[in-house]
Each structure stands twice: as C-alpha cells, then as structure tokens.
Amino acid sequence: MICAGVPPDKFTFPFVIKACAASSAIEKGKEVHASVIKSGFHCKDLFVKNTLLDMYLKCGSLECARKVFDEIPVKNVVSWTTMVSGLVGFGELDCARKLFDQMPVRNMVSWTAMINGYVSNGRPQEAFELFSQMQVEGVKPNEFTLVSLPRACNELGSLNLWWWTRRGKRNEGGGMSGWLLEVMEEEEGWRKEKGRR
C-alpha cells in the first residue's frame, strides 16, 4: 500500500495495529505507532489511540500503554476500560482500582474486569464489595460478571454468599444460560466434596 503511494488512514491503521497485537509483534507495532504520529492521527483519532493502547497491553508493554493512555486528551469508556483491564492482567489491582474509581462512566466490561481481577488474584472479599457497589449503583450483572462469583464464594467459604448469588441470578429474569448454570453446579459439587473431607 505504502509502496504504491497510498498513505494509510484512520481506517487502515487500526487493522495493522490489531495484526501487530495478534502476533505480539511489538517492534512492528512501534513502527506503526511512529507512522501514526507522522501522519497526525495520534492527535485526532480516538479509535486509533485506543487500538494502540490495546496493542501495547497485549504485547506486554505496560509502560508504553500507560504513555498512550496518558496522552489521550478526552478518554471514552473504551479507553478507561482497556487500561483497567490491562492493569488487572498485569496483576496491578490497586492501580487498576484507582483508575476504575476515577472513571467518569463505567460499563459492564469495566465492572466485570475489576471483579474478575479480584477473584483471579485471591481477593474475593474485594470482589464481593465491588459487586455490591455495582448493584447499589443500579448496574445489573451479566453472566460474565457472575461466572467468577462461585469461586469467590468458595474461597471465602461462604455458603450464604453462594446462595445469594445463585438466587439473585435466578430472580433476574427467570433463568440462567446453560454454561453459567454448569459453572455454578460444578462449584456446588466442589463445595459438597470439600464438606465431606
């Protein structure tokens, strides 16, 4: 494309950046980032910036990702959520939570990333505190949010939380999808087995 004299644009750059992320080609990604800067899209296109942010996180460069994030003048929920999810992925839960608390608008992905991060990193109490806060703020959990809660209940050894989670999901709209029900039943089987020991 470039050899043919056709310059990349705001539609082309994200595809190339995503390809770099998918193949963990951070050096190529940095070259593309330099081209983005040279072309001027780094200043005016949020989608390109968010794609760069995601690429650096997927390639394991938290430092470069943080730099891109900090340079975004007006962040949208995707910018914030991508950075929060990235910090969670790096095990930087306290930094992720600080950023999460600063978010002007949170979506279900933001809440879920933070809750799952706490559960995955052995902090189930904080997962449930955040889950409760989510409900107080009127955000209804989805299945992706709920799937990690049985594990948190198990880690806390709280049968009451387990039944509360299960009952809450059943009362929300008449049922659970097959895979969520399977996860919850599997966790229930582990609880029973643990109780027999």
Task: Please indicate, yes or no, whether residues 15 and 5 belong to a single structural domain of this protein.
Answer: yes
pTM score of the predicted model: 0.79
Domain endpoint, select from 15, 38, 73:
73
CA gap 9, 118 in Å, rounded: 39
Task: Please indicate, yes or no, whether residues 100 and 153 belong to a single structural domain of this protein.
Answer: yes
pLDDT at residue 93, as a whole number: 97
Tokens 């299945």 sit at which residue? 143
pLDDT band per the 50, 70, 90 thresholds, residue 176: very low
Containing domain of residue 93, as a range? Answer: 75-163
Task: Please indicate, yes or no, whether residues 69 and 79 belong to a single structural domain of this protein.
Answer: no
CATH of the domain at 104: 1.25.40
**Per mean pLDDT, which range of 19-23, 28-32, 132-136, 153-157 is the poorest?**
153-157
According to DSSP, residue 128 is labeled H
Task: Please indicate, yes or no, whether residues 9 and 61 belong to a single structural domain of this protein.
Answer: yes
